[in-house]
Amino acid sequence: MEQKNKLKLNSGGLLVFILTVGVFGIINTEMGVVGILPLIAETFKVSVPQAGWTVSVFALVVAASAPITPLLFSGVNRKKVMLLALGLFTLSNIISMLTTNFTVLLIARILPAFLHPVYVSMAFTVAAASVSKEKAPKAVSKVFVGVSAGMVLGVPVTSFIASEVSFSMAMLFFTVVNALVLIATILFIPSMPVKEKVSYGAQLSVLRKKVMWHSIIAVTLINGAMFGFFSYMSDYLKTVTEVSYSVISVVLLVYGLANIVGNVLAGKLLSINARRSIIIMPFALLVSYICLFMTGEWITAVVIIILILGVLAGIASNNMQYMIAEAAPEAPDFANGMFLTSANLGTTIGTAICGAFITEMGTQYSVFGALLFLIASMVFVYLRIRVPHSPKQVKMNMATE
């Protein structure tokens, strides 16, 4: 009771704000480099597909650790775990800022990725605990803004800093954000010892269900399509559309803002007809990528299509979380971990496949990787939607988002 009161006394919007900025810093560190892959390639004298490993290796580690590390740290004081995660992120960003060796850069990306899912999971938990039960969904939704902001602000801001100043200064941006949240956590977030440990058996049992595996594979493929191409979007704009880095930053911002619009629309679409939304999305993405491939040299058309892709990506992200959460309502924490795993695994494989198309055929053909993933995803989406959706479960999931 005393712990709960401390949380509420320290909330007043400040606690949730700290957690939101913390999640922004974590997501920004992961995805911020997406907009500067060509610059990383130039700085470290590697190819653009090789530079893409700064995205995919981070995502691969998150994918592997997401269902494991939150459970391993579930009995440890949450504040201590948050400080450990933020400290490691800050240190790794300092190393990234100072190194001139690409291997060292990759190692500096790998280490903090292990604690990425721990911090994000605990941020949602602590936000919910900081307010009354009725206000918990609203507090969690505010923290989720940090996830979107990592894309909406982080990617274009990082791209702008790197293009106008240097790669090192972009890494300094990551460092400052994480360091400020680290200090704020020390000063304003109370000690949060855990009294009850998470039970593993019941959560792991959901992996026996076919619908869970259909959902996991569908999410992996759809996210692989979206982020496989998105990882090279800046290179596509630079090489195929032939625009400057400053224009690339603006286009990435447009994509991010459109993504937020998609998030808003997704809630309404899922509440009206979840199955229809899930079925249509891979087809809508497929058509959009085909149009992008056909009009890649025309800047006006490209911007319009990327705007549409941003909206679709926002809707698709919510659809993917819904598919896995609805498949395992009895184990929501583990389901969210599996969502992180499958989404980041998709990012890793998608980035590698699209990078292979760039190596063999050229940047314009990176879109082909996304098309292959989407075609494959349609099979597993079909298998997934064969399981009837419970109206009661739909309402419950929508209330928690």
Sign, Cα dihedral of 374, 375, 376, 377: positive
Per-residue model confidence (pLDDT) at position 252: 80
Of 124, 4, 51, nearest to 358 by C-alpha is 51
Comparing 395 with 185, which gets the higher pLDDT? 185
Nearest C-alpha neighbor of 116 from the set 159, 64, 50: 64
Give 136-141's long-range contacts (Cβ < 8 A, gap of 24+).
137/399, 137/400, 137/401, 139/11, 139/16, 140/400, 141/401
Place 373 in a pLDDT band, splitting at 50, 70 and 90.
very high
User: Would you state the pLDDT for residue 234?
Assistant: 82
Task: Inform me whether the pLDDT recorded for 72 exceeds 90.
Answer: no
How much is the pLDDT for 142? 64
Give the residue, 121 or 160, on which the prediction is more confident.
Answer: 160
Work out the percent of the chain whose per-residue pLDDT is above 70: 85
Instruction: Supply the CATH classification number for the domain 1-192.
Output: 1.20.1250.20
Report the mean per-residue pLDDT for the chain: 82
Per residue in 187-224, pLDDT (tens digit) is: 988 888 867 665 667 777 888 889 999 999 999 999 99
Render pLDDT for 20-30 as a digit per residue (tens, 0 to 9).
Answer: 889 889 988 88
343 or 380, which is more confident? Answer: 380
Architecture, CATH, for domain 206-385: Up-down Bundle (1.20)
Domain edges within the chain = 1-192, 206-385
Same CATH topology for 1-192 and 206-385? yes
Which pLDDT value is given to residue 135? 61
How far apart CA 24 and CA 298 sit, in angstroms, is: 33
Given pLDDT bands bounded at 50, 70 and 90, which one contains residue 388?
low
Look at residue 3 and tell me whether its pLDDT is greater than 70: no
Predicted confidence at residue 309, as pLDDT, reads 93
Q: How far apart are CA 11 and CA 320, in angstroms?
A: 31
The model's pTM is 0.72
pLDDT recorded at residue 141: 57
Res. 2 pLDDT band, cuts 50 70 90? very low
Of the candidates 102, 81, 108, 256, the one whose C-alpha atom is nearest the C-alpha of residue 182 is: 81
Q: Is the dihedral of CA 398, 220, 317, 40 positive or negative?
A: positive
330-347 residue pLDDT tens: 776 677 778 878 887 888
Per-range mean pLDDT, top range of 153-162, 230-239, 362-371: 362-371
pLDDT for residue 67: 79
pLDDT (0 to 100) of residue 83: 95
254-312 pLDDT, tens digit per residue, is 888 888 788 778 777 877 888 898 999 999 999 999 999 999 889 889 999 999 999 99
Residue 137 has pLDDT above 70, yes or no: no
